[in-house]
Amino acid sequence: MSALAPASLAADGQAQVTNWPGYIGWTVGLVIVIALVYWLMRQGWNWRRTLQSDLPALPEVPADPGPVTRTAAGRYHGTTTAGNWLDRVVAHDLGTRSLADLTLTERGLLARRPGTADLWIPVEALAGARQDSGIAGKVVPSGLLVVGWRLGSTGLESGFRLDRPDQHAAWIAAILELSTRTQQTEGTAS
């Protein structure tokens, strides 16, 4: 009788381990939940884009952006409304993260973004720059270069992380100097 006991335990254990209909049911259920969450996130992104559809079109990149002041490579992390670092702007592909080649010229800031539209911020639209630790969905303890600018009547802030973060301070100084000089020139012309 003792020889039969281990065989029946193995059979019982085997039946519990190979409950394929249960495993398949749980797997299908999990896939459905993941698909539903993804669909809801996509709907939220599209709803945000609809709410921001009143933003004017981005300025066109000029054929000649002007004399180059500085260049750097890095990443574009997104744009938010000014003063609200969690309110991501997704209209006009401003919510799409990408690599970026930044070029500061006498006429503005150009961010060449492979895979999406380039971002041109004319010098008249620049509203300043600073180093901050985060912007909508990206927090970096060593900091991001945050550029303030205006699109129509809306204040925006775009976050960049240069490949060499030690250059952030020099970029901030250059952008502030350029925007201050432009504001003084416009004030004198008025």
Segment 3-11 shows an average pLDDT of 52
What is the count of structural domains for the chain?
A: 2
pLDDT band at 120 (very low <50, low <70, confident <90, very high): very high
- Please report the pLDDT score of residue 87 as a whole number: 82
Segment 90-111 shows an average pLDDT of 90
For the residues of 35-69, what is the DSSP string, one character each?
HHHHHHHHHHHHHHHHHTTTSPPPPPPPS---SEE
pTM over 0.75: no
Is 157 a domain residue? Answer: yes
Q: What is the CATH number of the domain that holds 140?
A: 2.30.29.30
Residues 6 or more apart in contact with residue 79 via CB below 8 angstroms: 88, 89, 94, 95, 156, 157, 158, 159
The answer to whether residue 189 scores a pLDDT higher than 90 is no
Pairing label, strands 138-151, 154-162:
antiparallel
The answer to whether residue 47 scores a pLDDT higher than 90 is no
Segment 125-134 shows an average pLDDT of 89
Structural domain boundaries, residue 99: 68-189
Q: What tens digit of pLDDT does each residue of 78-96 get?
A: 898 888 888 888 888 888 8
- Please report the pLDDT score of residue 10 as a whole number: 52
Is 149 a domain residue? Answer: yes
Segment 180-184 shows an average pLDDT of 73
Residues 6 or more apart in contact with residue 175 via CB below 8 angstroms: 104, 109, 126, 128, 129, 147
Q: Do 183 and 90 share a structural domain?
A: yes
Burial 38-67 (b: 16+ CB within 10 A, else e): eeeeeeeeeebbeebeebeebeeeeeebee
